[in-house]
Amino acid sequence: MTTPSLLILPGDGIGPEVMAEVRRVIDWFGDKRGLQFDVSEDLVGGAAYDVHGTPLHDDTMAKAQEVDAVLLGAVGGPKYDVLDFSVKPERGLLRLRKEMDLFANLRPAQCFDALADFSSLKKDVVAGLDIMIVRELTSGIYFGEPRGIFTEGNERVGINTQRYTESEIDRVARNAFELAMKRNKKLCSMEKANVMESGILWREVVTKVGEDYPEVELSHMYADAGAMQLCRWPKQFDVIVTDNLFGDLLSDAAAMLTGSLGMLPSASLGAPMANGRPKAMYEPVHGSAPDIAGQGKANPIACILSFAMALRYSFDLGDEAARLEAAINAVLEKGVRTADLLGEEGVTPVSTSGMGDAILAALDESL
Ligand code: NAD
C-alpha cells in the first residue's frame, strides 16, 4: 500500500503555532505506531500572499488536489485587512473548498467530561456527548438563483432561493450514511418538509439512499424541532445530516454546547478519489486569533482533533483516532489547561507546546 499523503497548510496567526503541535503528534504516530505519512507543507492565506502575491498559489492548489488529505491551520489577520477582496487570505481557503468540491462539512460536537462545566447546559446533558453534524456546503439557499435585491413597485425586495438537485442531496446523504456506518449506525435527517418543497425532495432522496444502508437506523425531523431537541437532550443523536442553511445554524449551536472555540475541529469532504478515499480538508473551527498570536497561548487541541478526524475519515484508522482523543481526554482530566480553558481558580495555564508535551506524554502512557 502507498504511504498516505498529507498536505499541511499552517496559514497565519496561531495557525503555525497549533500546527507545530500537530506535527509532533504525527511524528509520534510514525515513531511509536509505525504509521508513516508522506507529509508536505506549503503556504496559504496571508503567508502565501507575502511570498507569492496571492493567498493560494496554483502549485499549492494542484498539490491539494493530489494528496489524500489537507490539514489547514487558520488564515487572516489585521495586516491583510487592507488588501483587495480578490487577494484576501480567506480567498485562499474558499478556493480550496470550491476547487476540491468539498460538499460535506462535518462538525462534531464532542464534550470531554473534564470540560462539561464550560457548557451553558447542565453537566449531565452534555457530559460524554459525541455527535456529528453533516452540513451540505456547496448548494442550497446561499447559492441558489435568483438572488439579489430588486425593486418591485415602490419598494425593494430581497430574494434568495433554496434550490437542491437530487444528485446534490444524494451525495451528501451517502456521505452521512458512510459516516454513520463508521460510528453508531444511527442517522437523523433534518429539513422542513412541512413547509418547503426542497425539504420534501430532501426527505425523499435521503430515504431512497437509506435503502442502500439497511444497517443504519434512519429518522427524519423538522429542523426547528431538531434545534429544540439538540438543546433538550443532544445525546439522542449520533449523526445528523442537513442542508446548508440549517446546518450552518445547527452546527454552531451544537458546537457551543461543548465549550471553547479552541476545542472544535472540522472536516470538509468531497467525492471519492480513485483510491476510494474522499477528497478531504481538515481544519479547526477557530480563526488565526491575532490577539494571542506569537505568545504561545493558543490551544492546539482543535487542530490536533482535526488530525484525529483525518485518521478516522481519510485513513480508516478509527482506533488510532480514538487513542488520540483518549489522550486528550486524559490530559484534560488531569487538569492541564491552556488559558482559554481556565475556569477554576488557582490553575496555571500551560503554553501551546506545554499542551503538546502533555498530549504526547498521555499518548506514551496509552501504549
Ligand atoms: P478567531 O477564531 O481567530 O478568534 C476569536 C477569539 O477566540 C479570540 O479571542 C481568540 O484569541 C480566541 N481563540 C481562537 N482560537 C483559539 C485557540 N486555538 N486557543 C485559544 N484561543 C483561541 O476569530 P476572529 O477573531 O473573529 O478572527 C481573527 C482572524 O481569523 C480574522 O482575520 C478572520 O477573518 C480569520 N478567521 C479565519 C478562519 C479560518 O481560517 N478558518 C475562521 C474564522 C476567522
Residues of the chain with CATH 3.40.50.2300: 138-257
Summarize the confidence of residues 49-66 as an average pLDDT. Answer: 98
- Looking at the predicted structure, is the pLDDT value of residue 1 above 70? no
Cis peptide before 146 (omega within 30 of 0): yes
DSSP state of 261: G
What distance lies between CA 345 and its chain's CA centroid? 31
Count of CB atoms within 10 A of residue 309's CB? Answer: 24
Nearest ligand 1 atom to alpha carbon 303: 18
Summarize the confidence of residues 75-89 as an average pLDDT. Answer: 95
Cα of 147 from ligand 1 centre, angstroms: 30
pLDDT of residue 296: 97
Q: State if residue 83 touches ligand 1 by the CB under 6 angstroms criterion.
A: no
- Looking at the predicted structure, is the pLDDT value of residue 120 above 90? no
pLDDT of residue 101: 94
H helix or E strand, kind and range, residue 258: none
Question: Of all protein residues, whose CA lies closest to atom 43 belonging to ligand 1?
Answer: 287
Nearest ligand 1 atom to alpha carbon 299: 19
All three cell numbers of 207, joined, read 430515504
- Looking at the predicted structure, is the pLDDT value of residue 258 above 80? no
Q: State if residue 240 touches ligand 1 by the CB under 6 angstroms criterion.
A: no
- Looking at the predicted structure, is the pLDDT value of residue 200 above 70? yes
Q: State if residue 93 touches ligand 1 by the CB under 6 angstroms criterion.
A: yes
Cα of 176 from ligand 1 centre, angstroms: 28
d(CA 342, CA 357): 18
Average pLDDT, whole number, for the chain?
94
CATH architecture of 1-110+261-367: 3-Layer(aba) Sandwich (3.40)
- Looking at the predicted structure, is the pLDDT value of residue 259 above 90? no
Q: Pick from 248, 281, 286 the residue to mutate for probing ligand 1's pocket: most ligand atoms within 8 Å of its CB.
A: 286
Q: State if residue 77 touches ligand 1 by the CB under 6 angstroms criterion.
A: yes
CATH number for region 138-257: 3.40.50.2300
pLDDT range class, residue 344, cuts 50, 70, 90? low
Angstrom CA distances, 99 to 94, 202, 218, stand at 8, 25, 31
Our answer to whether residue 164 is catalytic in this structure is no
Q: State if residue 292 touches ligand 1 by the CB under 6 angstroms criterion.
A: yes
Our answer to whether residue 319 is catalytic in this structure is no
In 3-state terms, what secondary structure has residue 197? helix
**Terminus-to-terminus CA distance in the chain, angstroms?**
25
Cα of 62 from ligand 1 centre, angstroms: 27
pLDDT of residue 84: 94
The three-point CA angle 38-42-47 to 5° equals 160
Cα of 112 from ligand 1 centre, angstroms: 21
- Looking at the predicted structure, is the pLDDT value of residue 62 above 90? yes
- Looking at the predicted structure, is the pLDDT value of residue 236 above 90? yes
Question: Percentage of the chain with pLDDT > 90?
Answer: 84
Count of CB atoms within 10 A of residue 354's CB? Answer: 17
Angstrom CA distances, 76 to 157, 290, 303, stand at 34, 8, 16
Q: State if residue 286 touches ligand 1 by the CB under 6 angstroms criterion.
A: yes
Our answer to whether residue 248 is catalytic in this structure is yes
DSSP state of 234: G
d(CA 56, CA 48): 6
Q: Taking a C-beta distance cutoff of 8 angstroms, is the pair 259, 111 a contact?
A: yes
pLDDT range class, residue 260, cuts 50, 70, 90? confident
DSSP state of 277: P
pLDDT of residue 215: 98
Least confident residue range of 208-222, 253-267, 290-304, 306-320: 253-267
DSSP string, 86-136: GGSHHHHHHHHHHHTT--EEEEEEE--GGGGGGSSS-HHHHTT-EEEEEEE
Q: State if residue 55 touches ligand 1 by the CB under 6 angstroms criterion.
A: no
Cα of 272 from ligand 1 centre, angstroms: 31
Q: Taking a C-beta distance cutoff of 8 angstroms, is the pair 223, 250 a contact?
A: yes
Strands annotated E in the chain: 5-11, 38-41, 69-74, 104-110, 130-136, 144-152, 155-161, 186-191, 217-222, 239-242, 265-272, 278-284
The residues, ordered by sequence, that sit 6+ positions from 1 with a Cβ below 8 Å of its Cβ are none
Per the DSSP assignment, residues forming a β-bridge with 159 are 148
Angstrom CA distances, 50 to 11, 12, 53, 79, stand at 11, 11, 6, 11
Nearest to 285 by CA among 254, 322, 243, 329: 254
Model pLDDT for residues 316-332, shown as the tens digit of each residue: 999 999 999 999 999 99
All three cell numbers of 138, joined, read 456547496
- Looking at the predicted structure, is the pLDDT value of residue 234 above 70? yes
Q: State if residue 289 touches ligand 1 by the CB under 6 angstroms criterion.
A: yes
Q: State if residue 192 touches ligand 1 by the CB under 6 angstroms criterion.
A: no
Residues of the chain with CATH 3.40.718.10: 1-110+261-367
Handedness of CA 310, 312, 315, 320 (dihedral sign): positive
Our answer to whether residue 142 is catalytic in this structure is yes
Name the catalytic one among 42, 164, 192, 243: 192
